[in-house]
Chains A and B, each alone.
Chain A
Amino acid sequence: MALRDGPAAQWRMTAVTTRDCARQSDALTALREGRFDALTPDAVAAAEAHLNHCAACADKLGAARPVSASDPLVQAPRQPAAAQWRRAWAVIADRSPSVSSIWRAGRAGILRSAWTPLAAAAACVMMVVSWRFAAPPVESGLWSLAAAGDVRVLEMDVGEGVTAMVGDGPTVVWILEPEMDAPS
């Protein structure tokens, strides 16, 4: 809970919270000990409201295990016969993948997803190297890459949803001839 008014408010809130905890103490103890029948719906509603706002009481109760073993409303159900379990296991073994899917698909996924950034990184390294060392143009059949000494951008067409920005530092500008795609 956020405290806005300094130490005095902190003291007030702590005092209120502690009083609330004390007020709920009997109900919370009854819940922890599984004495549900000792509580009324109103008492449970008040305890619920308190637990939703008091992490200390919620943690304390959360750490408890239900005492359901001594609850007469809890009876161990009759379990399937051995033959039924055997059949169930046969179905499970038959239908489960031999290797857990995240493991299996994960590696293919990693390779697929790694390809795009790897290609982009390679292109960037190429551009930076060619810019820094004023290397001769890098060319392929479809495109060429060369460092420009002085470029003024007068107009820039970008696709929908893309922001065009040219900063003061080194900037890469693709100049595309018609029908030519940038390397990717």
Chain B
Amino acid sequence: MTAPNVDPSEDVLIARAVHGDADARRELFERFREAAYAAALRVTGRPEDALDVVQDAFIKAFESLAGFARGASFKTWLLRIVTNRALDLLRAAKVRRAASLDQRNDGQDRDGLPDPPARGDEYETPGAGLERMELGERLARAVASLPPEQRAVFALYADGELTYADIAKIVGIPIGTVMSRLFHARRRLTEMLGDLAPTMRRKD
């Protein structure tokens, strides 16, 4: 595994942030919020959930910053918290949805909660409605329809700055499994977005 590319000033910021320096914390937030949000959005599939995940992840990070190993990459550590939080949120939503379905099947009253948000499972097969969406929106929905473990790997792959070893570390799986999940995630996305093939040439 390669040594993380850690900006020396990052260690200084972290040391200040541990002691509650608000400016240092804000600087860390501003440096890494976009990467955190992008990963959270790719896993949760919903902007409002993604922003909640980012907030929770930064709060958790600042709470336990003293336990963060100096010289390690803050971004890798943060994205691990983000990914775990986002996956927890998906699991909780799945449990809520299952409970809600059970109640409906039992003919009982709903619990008063709003309908669980659509997580994209309904979009696994491309439909006529999907064709009206922009490429970015369709991609986001397609990513949101992947199995959660593939979504997490794809989200970290999409970040582009992490090494495959970082991704393996964050998700807690071997590199071979990272590659396999990534391969199947991409294959599934290509199948779902097949009609967009002409517009989806490599960007390089």
A residues with a Cβ closer than 8 A to B are 31, 36-37, 39, 41, 44-45, 47-52, 58-59, 61-66, 68-80, 84-85, 88-89, 91-93, 95-103, 106
* Pick from A41, A63, A98: contact of B183, CB under 8 Å: A41
Given the contacts A75-B136, A77-B37, A64 and B174 also touching, CB distance less than 8 Å: no
Task: Pick the interface stretch among B22-30, B90-98, B110-118.
Answer: B22-30
Question: Which residues of the partner chain B approach A100 to less than 8 Å between Cβ atoms?
Answer: 17-20, 62-67
Which of A49, A59, A71, A76 gathers the greatest number of chain B CB atoms within 10 Å?
A: A71
| B176, A50: Cβ atoms closer than 8 Å | yes
* Pick from A50, A91, A92, A103: contact of B66, CB under 8 Å: A103
**Minimum C-beta distance from B139 to chain A (A):** 5
| B20, A66: Cβ atoms closer than 8 Å | no
In the complex, what residue of chain B is closest to A73 when comparing beta carbons? B189
| B63, A51: Cβ atoms closer than 8 Å | no
Question: How many Å lie between the Cα of A37 and that of B186 in the bound state?
Answer: 8
Task: Pick the interface stretch among B81-89, B124-132, B161-169.
Answer: B161-169
In the complex, what residue of chain B is closest to A104 when comparing beta carbons? B66
| A68, B157: Cβ atoms closer than 8 Å | yes
List the 5 closest A-B pairs by CB distance, nearest first: A62-B165, A51-B176, A70-B204, A48-B176, A102-B66
In the complex, what residue of chain B is closest to A58 when comparing beta carbons? B175
Question: How many Å lie between the Cα of A151 and that of B182 in the bound state?
Answer: 72
**Minimum C-beta distance from A75 to chain B (A):** 5
| A79, B163: Cβ atoms closer than 8 Å | no
| A58, B38: Cβ atoms closer than 8 Å | no
| A73, B190: Cβ atoms closer than 8 Å | yes
Given the contacts A62-B1, A73-B190, A97 and B62 also touching, CB distance less than 8 Å: yes
| B163, A68: Cβ atoms closer than 8 Å | no
B residues with a Cβ closer than 8 A to A are 1-2, 17-20, 22, 25-26, 29, 33-34, 37-38, 41-42, 47, 51, 54-55, 58-59, 62-67, 135-136, 139-140, 157-165, 167-168, 174-177, 179-180, 182-184, 186-187, 189-190, 193, 200-204
| A88, B51: Cβ atoms closer than 8 Å | yes
Given the contacts A68-B157, A101-B64, A63 and B20 also touching, CB distance less than 8 Å: no
Which of A72, A76, A84 gathers the greatest number of chain B CB atoms within 10 Å?
A: A72
Question: Which residues of the partner chain B approach A79 to less than 8 Å between Cβ atoms?
Answer: 34, 37-38
Question: Which residues of the partner chain A approach B200 to less than 8 Å between Cβ atoms?
Answer: 72-73
| A99, B18: Cβ atoms closer than 8 Å | yes
Question: How many Å lie between the Cα of A100 and that of B180 in the bound state?
Answer: 38
Question: How many Å lie between the Cα of A52 and that of B189 in the bound state?
Answer: 26
**Minimum C-beta distance from B126 to chain A (A):** 15
**Minimum C-beta distance from B159 to chain A (A):** 7
**Minimum C-beta distance from A82 to chain B (A):** 11
Question: Which residues of the partner chain A approach B34 to less than 8 Å between Cβ atoms?
Answer: 79
Question: How many Å lie between the Cα of A21 and that of B180 in the bound state?
Answer: 17
Question: How many Å lie between the Cα of A71 and that of B177 in the bound state?
Answer: 20
In the complex, what residue of chain A is closest to B136 when comparing beta carbons? A75
Given the contacts A44-B179, A101-B64, A92 and B203 also touching, CB distance less than 8 Å: no
| B67, A75: Cβ atoms closer than 8 Å | no
* Pick from A65, A85, A101: contact of B63, CB under 8 Å: A101
* Pick from A51, A76, A96: contact of B59, CB under 8 Å: A96
**Minimum C-beta distance from A30 to chain B (A):** 10
* Pick from B58, B66, B135: contact of A96, CB under 8 Å: B58
Question: How many Å lie between the Cα of A103 and that of B140 in the bound state?
Answer: 40
